[in-house]
């Protein structure tokens, strides 16, 4: 830290992203990437744009917003694309929370919510999940604070129904409810359709998981026009050209190729079932995942130990050394080869 | 604006980027883009990465930082790449300025500085340029506030010498001096070499101008290790994966192809001389530009009028309808064809 660093950030603990090793070839099941390459259309469109990089990207993201609007059956002015969904989440904390408008979110959820609150000086409360890691919606009914819920939740993988989400949104009409649907395409229900009924609902999604574009950095928010206007005010006051040309074009490409995305999601759902069955055979227990990962623990082995042993065998999974979940591993559902490698490694560790 | 928008942003006036028209083909001389395509290596490397988009980009930007370090003769931990240079500038405002550490910058400069200060709730002072639009360095000597100077300045195009910059940096040892060198490659001197002498100096640059990569969104800061650490704390608390795979690879490609960049800069400098001579012939006066644009006015015509007439003829230039510079046009130095189209259009307007 330099002696120039602002007092207000001196205690800030940044988010720790999952390892992105560059040097060793791992079976990489630690950051919930898709095992499938991006859509051919996405690759092709991005490559075409690479030849025109001397020109700025369109700050209004017109064609991408139109395509997103068409895909989600909303208007283009109800959509905002960002540099990954972390950016739209940060914009939401900035735009709608402040000293007088605190945030609440589950105590076990995407670790970045807390960091967004901290960096923006926003008071926040972490609401304890039930012992089975489910969200008790009664904790959020009429709470009168801005609510951030990942649905399905991470790293638990457990989803709420749209009916339950609607109860939370309807009971907090004077506060914003942000539903982070990063993992929604793997078996949960999206609540995008509620945005026309509730002006206090913002839904965020990402191209990083089901759409095989983690490396392109593309996320988006969907909400009523006035919310999107506010988020645009933040965007145009921080980084108007936030989405580059190649990513914008790739985004349009993958949306045009929705069958490919759906096919891949179905494979992941099938692979998840298989992985769960095999993990069960090995003695693991796990939550009911609606995502592209399984959140599993073994009654006889410490999570940190298994994480380390797997890493030594060239398999990366995610382990959170934090209260209540340190027994667990978050394992990305990969393709059949990755699953085989994982299972073989686990079997060998458990036998030792 | 929604009723949920935070009080603190209700008066925020976002930055207005230059027009990026999508529908009509203009001779586009309004946002200081390069008329030259990106380096072949940049295109090739980006296209290769497009096929691997399912994997996250490296949040540490290891290889890009190494290449930047090599290019600028600094260490990799003295560099931070960002999603355009707007992001590194915003990070600098966030990291080093606050209620007790105000910012100062010229009253005529990159319009975003004021917006960055506003959105971050930072008090700021705008220091009036001299009548000839030059910076009086005495205004900044020992001022005891964080200083943001674009060098060369925009939209005036006028540069300070490194000797003058050093006087400012040396006289404010307890404050940060940010030198924004977006346009430095077109004839001005970079002060990157000073970062090993002054721990309070941050230099920012961009790939958008001389490197023909405006559409890729890539900027960076160079400063001592401790400053870069602070900026990393901000990055990891807002958007750890801020640079996508394709842009990162394209950035390495163009840095490997530095002769191409230098050749293009030399052409722009020659074209600028030619454009200035021709503008002089048409009766324009202009500042001494060390950039890829000319800041010119005609004694007999209003800037807004000329802007509008040029637009009607299919030529886009930038006009700022603000105090003291509303007579001026900021005209990007394009290739010979673009310059010809501009001059023909201007001749026809002036004849009418």
Query: How does pLDDT run across A148-196, given as a tens digit for each residue?
Result: 999 999 999 999 999 999 999 999 999 999 999 999 999 999 999 999 9
Question: Chain centroid to CA B238: how far?
Answer: 22
Q: Is the dihedral of CA A299, A300, A303, A306 positive or negative?
A: negative
Of A98, A176, A230, the CB nearest to B7: A98
Name the closest residue on chain A to residue B43, using Cα atoms. Answer: A50
Inter-chain CB proximity A53 and B33 less than 8 Å? no
Of B31, B97, B236, the CB nearest to A15: B236
Name the closest residue on chain B to residue A177, using Cα atoms. Answer: B4
Residues of B in contact with A38 (CB under 8 A): 50-51, 53-54
Which pair of structure tokens corresponds to residue A20? Answer: 């992105």
pLDDT for the residue numbered B352: 79
Residues of A in contact with B86 (CB under 8 A): 238-241
Shortest CA distance to A125 belongs to which of A100, A138, A153, A106? Answer: A106
Residues of A in contact with B237 (CB under 8 A): 9, 12, 14-15, 115-116, 118-119
Q: pLDDT at residue A22 above 80?
A: no
Q: pLDDT at residue A254 above 80?
A: yes
Q: What percent of chain A has pLDDT over 90?
A: 96
pLDDT for the residue numbered B19: 82
Q: pLDDT at residue A24 above 80?
A: no
Q: What percent of chain A has pLDDT over 70?
A: 99
Inter-chain CB proximity B4 and A95 less than 8 Å? yes
Q: pLDDT at residue A23 above 80?
A: no
Distance CA A131, CA A107 (A): 12
- Looking from the CA of B243 toward its CB, the CA atoms found within 13 Å total 32
Q: pLDDT at residue A325 above 90?
A: yes
Q: pLDDT at residue B137 above 90?
A: yes
If you average pLDDT over residues A337-351, what whole number do you get?
96
Q: Taking a C-beta distance cutoff of 8 angstroms, is the pair B6, A98 a contact?
A: yes
CA distances A164 to A130, A172, A231, Å, are 16, 13, 26
Residues of A in contact with B21 (CB under 8 A): none
pLDDT for the residue numbered B231: 98
B2-39: pLDDT as tens digits: 999 999 999 999 999 888 877 678 999 999 999 999 99
* β-strand partners of A81: A220
If you average pLDDT over residues A319-346, what whole number do you get?
96
If you average pLDDT over residues A212-221, what whole number do you get?
98
Residues of B in contact with A96 (CB under 8 A): 4-6
Sorting pLDDT into bands at 50, 70 and 90, what band is A20?
A: confident
Shortest CA distance to B86 belongs to which of A291, A244, A321, A97? Answer: A244
Among A15-19, A59-63, A310-314, B110-114, which stretch is predicted with the lowest mean pLDDT? A15-19
Inter-chain CB proximity A1 and B43 less than 8 Å? no
Q: pLDDT at residue A246 above 80?
A: yes
Shortest CA distance to B219 belongs to which of B210, B130, A344? Answer: B210
pLDDT for the residue numbered B21: 78
Strand A315-317 with A27-29, pairing? parallel
| Residue B279, SS3 per DSSP | helix
Of B97, B237, B240, the CB nearest to A119: B237
CA distances B197 to A86, B67, B166, B173, B193, Å, are 36, 22, 10, 11, 8
B316-343: pLDDT as tens digits: 999 999 889 999 999 999 999 999 999 9
Of B16, B118, B215, the CB nearest to A52: B215
Q: How many CB atoms lie within 10 A of CB B163?
A: 10
Inter-chain CB proximity B216 and A244 less than 8 Å? yes
If you average pLDDT over residues B108-134, what whole number do you get?
97
Q: pLDDT at residue B246 above 80?
A: yes
Name the closest residue on chain A to residue B223, using Cα atoms. Answer: A2
pLDDT for the residue numbered B287: 98
Q: Which residue has the higher pLDDT, B264 or A322?
A: B264
Inter-chain CB proximity A9 and B60 less than 8 Å? no
Sorting pLDDT into bands at 50, 70 and 90, what band is A18?
A: confident
Task: Using CB atoms within 10 Å of the CB of residue A3, give its burial: 0 to 12 exposed, 13 to 18 middle, 19+ buried.
Answer: exposed
A111-126: pLDDT as tens digits: 999 999 999 999 999 9
Of B17, B49, B98, the CB nearest to A240: B17
Q: Which residue matches tokens 């593309």?
A: A218
How many residue pairs from chains A and B have C-beta atoms closer than 8 A?
298
Residues of A in contact with B115 (CB under 8 A): 237
Inter-chain CB proximity B217 and A244 less than 8 Å? yes
Q: What b-and-e string marks burial along A66-102, b requiring 16 or more CB atoms within 10 Å of the CB?
A: ebbbeebebbbebbbbbbbbbbbbbbbbbbbbbeebb
B53-99: pLDDT as tens digits: 999 999 999 999 999 999 999 999 999 999 999 999 999 999 999 99
């Amino acid at each position: 830290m330099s002696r120039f660093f602002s007092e207000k950030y001196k205690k800030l603990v940044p988010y720790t992203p999952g390892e992105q090793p560059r040097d060793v070839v791992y079976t990489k099941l630690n950051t919930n990437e898709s095992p499938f390459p991006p859509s051919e259309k996405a690759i092709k469109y991005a490559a075409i744009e690479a030849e025109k990089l001397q020109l700025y990207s369109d700050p209004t993201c017109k064609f991408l917003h139109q395509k997103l609007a068409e895909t989600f059956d909303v208007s283009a002015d109800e959509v905002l694309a960002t540099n990954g969904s972390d950016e739209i989440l940060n914009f939401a904390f900035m735009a709608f929370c402040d000293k007088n408008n605190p945030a609440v979110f589950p105590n076990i959820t995407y670790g970045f919510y807390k960091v967004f609150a901290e960096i923006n000086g926003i008071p926040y409360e972490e609401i304890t999940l039930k012992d089975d890691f489910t969200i008790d919606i009664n904790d959020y009914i009429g709470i009168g604070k801005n609510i951030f819920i990942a649905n399905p939740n991470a790293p638990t993988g457990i989803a709420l129904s749209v009916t339950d989400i609607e109860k939370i949104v309807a009971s907090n009409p004077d506060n914003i409810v942000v539903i982070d649907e990063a993992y929604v395409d793997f078996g949960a229900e999206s609540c995008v359709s509620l945005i026309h009924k509730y002006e206090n609902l913002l839904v965020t999604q990402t191209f990083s998981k089901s759409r095989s574009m983690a490396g392109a950095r593309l996320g988006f928010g969907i909400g009523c026009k006035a919310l999107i206007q506010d988020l645009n005010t933040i965007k145009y006051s921080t980084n108007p050209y936030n989405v580059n040309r190649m990513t914008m074009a790739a985004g349009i490409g993958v949306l045009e190729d929705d069958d490919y995305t759906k096919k891949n999601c179905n494979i992941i759902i099938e692979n998840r079932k298989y992985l769960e069955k095999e993990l069960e055979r090995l003695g693991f227990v796990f939550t009911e995942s609606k995502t592209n990962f399984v959140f599993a623990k073994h009654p006889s082995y410490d999570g940190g130990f298994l994480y380390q042993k797997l890493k030594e065998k060239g398999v990366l999974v995610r382990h959170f050394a934090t209260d209540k979940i340190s027994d667990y591993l978050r394992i990305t559902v990969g393709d059949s080869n990755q699953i085989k490698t994982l299972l073989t490694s686990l079997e060998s560790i458990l036998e030792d």
